[in-house]
Structure 1
Amino acid sequence: MTCWRSWHRPLVLFAAAMTVMAFVAGVGILVDDRVLAGSAIWAKPFKFAVSFVAYALSLAWMLTLLTRGRRIGWWAGTVVAVASLAEMALITWQVVRGKRSHFNNATPFDTSLYNAMAGSIVILWTGTLVIAILLMRARIADRASAWVIRAGVVIALAGAGLGFLMTQPTAEQRAAGNLDTADVVGAHAVGVPDGGPSMPLTGWSTTGGDLRIPHFVGMHALQLLPLLLLVLVALATRLPRLGDPRVRLRLVLVASGAYAAVVALLTWQALRGQPLIHPDGATLTTAALILAATTAGAYAALRPAPVRPENDPHIPADKELMA
């Protein structure tokens, strides 16, 4: 593990700023009784700030692993930090004004702010893509670490890209036929209006699909997959089987595939207008298949290699050594 002092400075400073912002927004939730789209008006900046802390610190650490293109990586990380800061500044400004930040076309000014936020997200995503490409080319000695970092950033990019689906007009908005003059175009929810009954804390819809769910889960592969590897390494002192680098590699391969499958399942569920907490038979069956495949993969990864008898004339000498 590299010293935190060598982490990407602008991203670390941005994470520190978002820690302060999370505190400010938390206080806002407690003292400001305004409600917007069915949630406390300060809930959105609070959730964005917490998410950005984890996202920025993960990238700040990963940039220390680059073995080539470090200067490009530094600039890409800086672009991500600046774009993210701009996004948060615009979200907070709209909260102060008591207005929606996303999907808001009520006035030309609101539209310009929303377009600016859309541009900042595109820049953020592009900067992360550059970092992902550099990480793909980095020479990381431990294969499990290399795979889990690369898989994490690729799945995070896919999760971030799912935000584009929220910007598209809903079926109801299209049916109304006034997209050029509508105050709101786009939505988090699918099949129901934004602002309806929702889960505590997350605000995810309990009556329809919600695209924020796969968006959130996908983006945080950046933290959860590397965290899994850290857990495997920590458990290796108690479970000798995990001390084998090949076993850890196989396990993170299985975990990465399972994580990607879960993000795909959550996206499919949301697009069908189905609440997370009320899955239908098709969703449950698919989830069971993913669980079964993951369990089988983990079992195969942990199963000891077969012991080959010594001096077996049917096994070439080089294969005996490999065994």
Structure 2
Amino acid sequence: MKNPRAADRFCHATGLVLVLSGLLHLVVFAVDGGPWDGPVSWRKPVTFGLSFGLTLLAITWVTSYLRIDPRLRSALLLVFAADCVAEVGGITLQAWRRVPSHLNMQTPFDTAVSMTLAAGGGVLVVLLMVFAVASFRHRPQGPADMPLAVRSGFAILLVALASGAAMIARGVVLTRTGHQEAAYHSTAPLKPLHGVSLHAVLVLPALAWLLSRSPWTDQTRRRIVATAVGCYAAAVAGAGVWAVLTYR
């Protein structure tokens, strides 16, 4: 897509479809029942659909403030959108098959799905790191408090990427060494850290955008955003301490 706006519209539509997929599976869970926790549950297509959908919507919006070549941004966003669909699709497929989606090496097909999801996670890390570097390389555009919100959001997002990579790496090692059940439970300590830090890139810029519509001065808005960044960082630190204390 040569038109950046067309790429944005495509990503917005894709993000909304993923969010709707998560909500649909919440209805499926309400009807079908079953456990909410564990490697096989309707929780995974619900949470991953909502999370990936919101993340795609957030990244599409937030990157519009970055000083980056429009054609490069569009190409990266389209790859990001395709990867989000692949991740949610693989997780949803395995949920309907009633087998674990991640770290599942029981059959050749399950192994292929699991490795595809892991590879897709690697692609997500690379793409988001490119956007994060761009946010720090050149001051983002927008209201006076937006650069701090965008840069802080991407910085905290890197924590989510690191914790996600750590979960996959540890789980794969346990699986390869014959500790399949331990692999499924090994991700629990890092899940709060991953979840909390994942959406800072949406929450903080959204706060800055809302404040830009207020009558407050630039200095006041910057102080509010700085306070919000501090609070968010404290929440991430708390989740990190929890991960350390519960790590086995």
Residue of structure 2 in register with 1:248 after alignment? 221
- Contact (CA 8 Å) 1:214, 1:267: kept in 2 or not? yes
Consecutive unaligned residues of structure 1, counting only runs of 5 or more, are 191-208, 238-242, 275-323
Deviations 1:12-39 (A, max 9, x none): 1211221331233122202223447548
Q: Does 1:180 align with 2:180?
A: no
Q: CA–CA distance in 2 between the matches of 1:212 and 1:120?
A: 18
Q: Does 1:163 align with 2:164?
A: yes
Which of 208, 211, 233 is the aligned partner of 2:190? 211
Counting only pairs closer than 5 Å after superposition, residues 181-200 of structure 1 correspond to structure 2 as: 181-184=178-181, 186-187=183-184
Deviation (angstroms), 1:68: 3.3
Q: CA–CA distance in 2 between the matches of 1:33 and 1:159?
A: 30
Q: CA–CA distance in 1 between the matches of 2:218 and 2:156?
A: 23
Q: CA–CA distance in 1 between the matches of 2:43 and 2:150?
A: 30
Residue of structure 2 in register with 1:303 after alignment? none
Change beyond 3 A, Cα 1:271–1:8: same
Which of 224, 227, 230 is the aligned partner of 1:257? 230
- TM-score, length-scaled by structure 2: 0.84
Counting only pairs closer than 5 Å after superposition, residues 1-323 of structure 1 correspond to structure 2 as: 8-35=8-35, 38=38, 41-136=41-136, 137-169=138-170, 179-184=176-181, 186-187=183-184, 210-234=189-213, 236-237=214-215, 243-273=216-246
SS in 2 for 1:99: coil
The letter of the residue matching 2:70 is R
Q: CA–CA distance in 2 between the matches of 1:261 and 1:273?
A: 18
- Contact (CA 8 Å) 1:65, 1:140: kept in 2 or not? yes
Deviations 1:281-323 (A, max 9, x none): xxxxxxxxxxxxxxxxxxxxxxxxxxxxxxxxxxxxxxxxxxx
- Contact (CA 8 Å) 1:103, 1:114: kept in 2 or not? yes
Q: CA–CA distance in 2 between the matches of 1:210 and 1:181?
A: 21
Q: CA–CA distance in 1 between the matches of 2:91 and 2:39?
A: 15
The letter of the residue matching 1:128 is L
- Contact (CA 8 Å) 1:104, 1:184: kept in 2 or not? no
- Contact (CA 8 Å) 2:40, 2:100: kept in 1 or not? no
Q: CA–CA distance in 2 between the matches of 1:142 and 1:103?
A: 43
- Contact (CA 8 Å) 2:11, 2:56: kept in 1 or not? yes
Consecutive unaligned residues of structure 2, counting only runs of 5 or more, are none
User: Which structure would you say has the larger Rg?
Assistant: 1
The letter of the residue matching 1:92 is T
- Contact (CA 8 Å) 1:69, 1:134: kept in 2 or not? no
Deviation (angstroms), 1:179: 4.3
| Structure showing the higher helix proportion among its residues | 2
- Contact (CA 8 Å) 1:73, 1:130: kept in 2 or not? no
